[in-house]
Amino acid sequence: MLIVGTMIGAGFCSGREIVSFFGSGVSVFVAPLCGVLIFLVCVLFLTIGAKIREKSFDKVNAVLLGKYHFIADIFLLVNNMIVLSAMIAGLNSLMRPVLPFPVFGAIAAVACALIACKGAKGMLDCNFIVVPVIIVALAAVCFGGLETGMLSTSLGVLRARIFPVGIVYVSMNMMLASTVLTTLGDLTRKQIIWGSLIASVSITALLALIITALNCTGNYSAEMPILEISADGGKWLYVILSIVTGISIFTTMLTAVGGLTGYLRGKAGGNVFNSALVVISGTVLSFLGFTRVVSLFYPVVGIVGIFYIIMCVRFVTKNKRSSLFPVRKREKIKARSA
């Protein structure tokens, strides 16, 4: 649920990410391609977490990259700030009909900081509660959109470019998740596989529905296309998806805030100072606007993220035998042998 909640923020839930990366009329086969990549990267990051067993991503990077870890630290910090600003801008855009003044994003960021102070457990508990609701509501809206078009047109066009773009897209999404997944060190090999599988299947299904709904309606130009599609289903469906979109923004924002405050813990001031610094910085950057942040910064993060994933693969292959078995499990094996 943490993996799913991290990915389906404002960009994913609104359909804006899909349009920004893949354009219009994209093939629905993008979904399984991305799903396989998500599974592999999730297994990679969780395996690293089980191997290194550190609680902050900068310490994980120190093991991965040695004295050059500061490069990865800066990249992941910038990525988290970009995502945070996009979520703040997205929530302000969503709530603009209610209150034109952009305050909701900052308020949500403060709430995320309070939850993040409890560490990974607070983020896991929050996602476990709200993510199933997001999945059901988003699927319902997309199914409603399917009725407005023909299946033949909804499949989209299979282009060669979807393969490299799909890699960049998954890389971008997984960079935010990496700051948390690589610090979850208490999972067994079986838990890693099942957690990654459930998350990737869920994302694949939602991605296929969103792409199909976009192709059926041809609604590519709106700032939040899926939200516009829900408006055709009636007032209540629009209200429900607006709430769900707000919740999905919150879950992604939570991971971004958690990564930033976790990095600052013990390096700057106390929790209050660190949280205030994160919230203010994200709010200032959010004034660039939701569409602009997603279109300009997300692809760059995805491209640079590929190099980070390659370094993670290099680490795992160098430690192939031991990296697939968390420390706790190896200790049990030794105890049985004794």
Q: What is the pLDDT along the chain (338 residues), one digit of tens a residue?
A: 888 887 877 678 777 788 878 877 778 888 899 999 999 999 999 999 888 888 788 888 998 888 888 899 999 988 888 889 888 888 888 888 777 777 888 899 999 888 887 766 777 777 788 788 878 877 777 776 555 444 555 565 667 778 888 899 899 889 888 888 888 878 889 999 999 999 999 999 888 888 887 877 776 776 677 777 777 666 777 787 788 888 888 888 888 888 888 888 777 677 888 888 899 998 888 888 777 777 778 888 889 999 999 999 988 888 765 444 444 444 454 445 44
Closest-CA residue to 223 (of 165, 283, 292, 169)? 292
* The one-letter amino acid at 304: V
State if pTM tops 0.85: no
Distance CA 224, CA 115 (A): 27
Closest-CA residue to 249 (of 126, 44, 100, 108)? 108
pLDDT of residue 149: 47
pLDDT of residue 155: 61
Closest-CA residue to 199 (of 225, 177, 182, 179)? 177
State the residue for tokens 């389906």: 8
Distance CA 280, CA 300 (A): 23
pLDDT of residue 214: 80
Closest-CA residue to 256 (of 112, 71, 110, 90)? 112
Task: State the Cα angle at 202 between 215 and 301, rounded to 5°.
Answer: 75
- Residue 160, classed as helix, strand or coil, is coil
Q: How far is CA 121 from the centre of its chain?
A: 17
pLDDT of residue 34: 92
Beta-carbon contacts of residue 232 (< 8 Å; ≥ 6 apart): 144, 145, 148, 217
pLDDT of residue 333: 45
Beta strand ranges found along 184-304 (DSSP E): none
Half-sphere exposure of 34 (CA within 13 A, CB side): 29
CATH architecture classification, 13-323: Up-down Bundle (1.20)
